[in-house]
Chains A and B, each alone.
Chain A
Amino acid sequence: MLEINNLHVKLEAEDKPILRGVDLRVAAGTVHAIMGPNGSGKSTLSYVLAGRDGYAVTDGTATLDGADLLAMEPEERAAAGLFLAFQYPVEIPGVGNMTFLRTAVNAQRKARGQEEMSAGEFLKVVRDRARTLKIDADMLKRPVNVGFSGGEKKRNEILQMAMLEPKMCILDETDSGLDVDAMKLVSDGVNALRDAGRAFLVITHYQRLLDHIRPDVVHIMADGRIVKTGGPDLALEVEKNGYAGILAEAV
């Protein structure tokens, strides 16, 4: 599904390398987790994959089902099936949440040559998916993320994911700012989307999210590279001993 080879990225403005040769393969139907200390390049990796400005790829490739992600505009990557759940979901005053969701869903359908969803059909689907995430009608009416609590914003990200039905989902520290109940709610939302045709890349600092979203593979990222890969036990090891031991071993 997602294939990253020797990816090197620097900040455009500062000429500062952030990713120094990332290699990663995520197969359909699997959940991969990336853990790592602050500044290791985890969020940069997610932004570069989604196509945010400000980064320059100096070497390497990233493909989604064989298609060159790095050559596409952000909206083309989305239409190709990539989704990034933001660490800090953006507030957009003046744009209603419902309008936003419907515009996004129909833009992607159009890009894929599918028919647009009718207003009635859309409303039915969105209400149904919102209910399972405990997102009420009021939150759907309000402007995108404006006045939402941290937990509401993260639930709104998962709702977007549920509506857009991407095949490659990247979750960038979706657990940050969540209390125990909200984490459970968000995790249930993610788990409900797990299937054989879809893959997840879960970026997190903490093992506890991985209690809810059980990963198949865990990677440790440090200094712009993936330095260790293992099973779910690797996350437990980090939780118990911190990164120091693993990083010393990797060097």
Chain B
Amino acid sequence: MLRISDLTIEYSSGGYVVRPISGLDLRADAGHLVLLLGASGSGKTSLLSVIAGLLTPASGSVQVGDTEVVGLSGSALTHHRRHGVGVVFQAFNLVPSLTAAENVQVPLRAAGWRARAARDRAAELIARVDLEDRAHHRPADLSGGQQQRVAIARALAHDPPVLLADEPTAHLDYLQVESVLRLLRDLADSGRLVIVATHDDRLKPLSDEVLDLTPSAETTGRAPTRQVLEAGEVLFAEGERGDRVYVVESGTIELARHRDDGTEELLTTVSDGGYFGELGPMLGLPRSATARAVDRAVVIGYSLRDFRDHLQPSSPGALLSEAADATEAWAENISQ
């Protein structure tokens, strides 16, 4: 049903290249509910966008059924958006001027359905999400849960084999969450592939598969590793995921970031006794820079716990404060 191979997603943000997904592989079959779990910025939404044909990845392959999504354009892309996938957005994103039923009709009318046929199909879908009595209300007159169910009905307009839901419970109270999740589970049980992106791991029991896009940093249990790097050798690349914090024993390591114009910006250099690479493991984020040896260098990689316990015993607050500053800067970058 869905085959993703060696997928890398990049986009430009604040003049830098951001790579939330790097080398991802995924297989998911019809009738399954797959949970994409991850913190903000981990690439969940980007992955959904690529599957939906709304974002072009840097490399890799995404196959929905027999259709290779990467590289689609023109009418083939429109066909994929209409018939290949249905998308449920986090903020519902219903057109405010249209009633619930009309919102469901839009994809059908856009695909050339006659008005009466589109009305009948919309009524059928509205009934399926139990909103017959709210069919002729505008979104502003509907609760969050009702809007989300209308959004699901709209996503099902062309009966797509894959349903993508981005944080479908983010704006809902617990009563509304229950009905929306039950609906998504039912849709999967009826033979559809449902992919739900969320940061809420409480949804795990509902799913058949979980893809965690934020690997938890291994905090203990791995011994420090000593690595010798020759001049120019890359220790880790921007966008990769890693669970090690590095201390430079000798030599110099440069940290550089790719700009969106293809050039590289040197952020800093770290020499004997200095450390780097703590933010990725701490925040569950991909590496935000590439670490490369300037000359022959020796580095020791620690787990986050070992690094905190043994190397910074007197100043854990300083490390967290530094991490908080960096997180803020990173979030600002992402939001630009």
Q: Do A and B come from one complex?
A: no
Give me the interface of B with A, judged by CB distance under 8 Å: none
